[in-house]
Amino acid sequence: MAILVTGGAGYIGSHTCVELLNKGEEVIIVDNFSNSSPDVIKKIGQITGKSVTVYSDDILSEAALHNIFTAHKISAVVHFAGLKAVGESVRVPMDYYYNNVSGTLCLCRVMAAHGCKKMAFSSSATVYGAGTGGPFREDDAVSAINPYGMTKVMIERILTDIAAADPKWGIALLRYFNPIGAHPSGLLGEDPTGIPNNLVPYIAQVASGKLARVQVYGDDYETPDGTGVRDYLHVSDLAAGHIKALEYVENHPGAEAVNLGTGTGYSVLEVLAAYEKACGKKLPYVIAPRREGDTAVCCADPAKAKRLLGWEAAIGLDEMCRDSWNYAKKLQKG
């Protein structure tokens, strides 16, 4: 039996494919490569010494998905595919609702038609909206302050209703906090197109000389140094959480929301200092105005993940920044 990974060539998807292959699973990837590169597939092979079957298709095509499920005996799906830039979602909300929500519905319809009813879904801490900062628990109220976040809220509700209607479904709704870092080999990492939206890829481009200075959005929050505090976790820890989630849903019906985070928050300036340590040089930064919708603190309560999945993050901030810089250096060298 195989595991289908939608968006498997993306940042988190590719690391999860590595974990699955290392566990001995057969992996099928479907990715339209709208925000990823086919080169990632080669790198997955280099790291694991194993091959994956890849379909360059869109999950909005039920016909394409039916072909994949007909060609392979798929036991479970890890669902990453979706648009994910917050700012872009505000500009083109229709694209986000169509792609993320309709794409998930297409996927679920095809899964049901082929009797595959186990899923780990890539959700997000954005479902906690403009909450108090946490530590957020899975039973906290969900909301959203942008269309991207609302697609996650809507998909979680859809998947919860699907699982409630049919006890054969087992679904993990994995609420990520802030994944950073890269595979220790330096072959896989986060390489966004254009100017990065997230802090660590932005810092990496400053360290690489691609950008002039780090933009720190706000230094007047009620935090120890005035800058925003977030729960950062290593992408390899996050990938390992998906393995645990698949093991869980295999034997537990229903839809279960689970936070994947460390439970520890770091400020923007603390992350910058850790990255300076990793790359061995001071990095220029400027204080910019706060961004609309940003909160002072956003951290997870990860207790449920440990209790339910037997998972907890193991990699610290220094290693996260070290691995990110190792990947950035390899990118520089081509």
- Is the CB of residue 202 less than 8 Å from the CB of residue 211? yes
Count CA within 13 A, CB hemisphere, residue 101. 19
Please report, as a single letter, which amino acid is at residue 268: V
Q: Which residue has the tokens 């520890």?
A: 264
φ and ψ at residue 284, rounded to 5 degrees: -70, 145
Q: Is 221 a catalytic residue?
A: no
Residue 186 falls in which region: left (phi positive, over 0), alpha (psi -120 to 50) or beta: left
First to last CA, the chain: 37
Task: Please pick, among 148, 232, 248, 266, the residue that the annotation labels catalytic.
Answer: 148
- Is the CB of residue 287 less than 8 Å from the CB of residue 247? no
> How far apart are alpha carbons 220 and 64 in whole angstroms?
50
Which sequence positions are flagged as catalytic? 148
